Amino acid sequence: MLEVTPGWYMTLAAALFVLGLTGVLVRRNALVMFMSVELMLNAVNLTFVAAGRAAGVLDGQVAVFFVLVVAAAEVVVGLAIIVAIFRRRETASVDELAALRG
């Protein structure tokens, strides 16, 4: 019988991470880029849980807890910035935010 080893979980996490990476690099809507970042964070959380289980310790899940809190804080500030930019520039596309271009 096939057993699900930690390698399976880490492969799934790697696939999710790559998906998120692609989203950040290809999409131009700041909101979708943000969601892709969240996807990458989730992939890392999955590795933490799987690795913690493989090592037989709870520390992996504790790490996930902290990542979750930091991600929540990041979302709050990031979305506030996106809204602030939108109110001034009427756009959420990162291509149009080139004011710092030399």
Q: Do 4 and 27 meet the contact criterion of CB atoms below 8 Å apart? A: no
Stated length of the chain? 102
Q: Do 19 and 7 meet the contact criterion of CB atoms below 8 Å apart? A: no
Residue 17 C-beta: closest distance to other proteins, Å: 7
Contacts with other proteins by CB under 8 A: the residue count is: 74
- Which of 77, 90, 94 is closest to 30 using CA atoms? 94
Residue 85 C-beta: closest distance to other proteins, Å: 10
Binding to other proteins by CB under 8 A, coded x per residue (else -) over 17-56, reads: xxxxxxx-xxxxx-xx-xxx-xx--x--xx--xx-xxxxx
Residue 30 C-beta: closest distance to other proteins, Å: 9
Q: Is 97 in the site for other proteins (CB under 8 A)?
A: no
Q: Is 100 in the site for other proteins (CB under 8 A)?
A: no
97 CB neighbour count, 10 Å cutoff: 13
Q: For residue 22, what are its two tokens?
A: 């692609």
**Binding positions for other proteins, 53-72, rule CB under 8 A:** 53-62, 64-66, 68-72
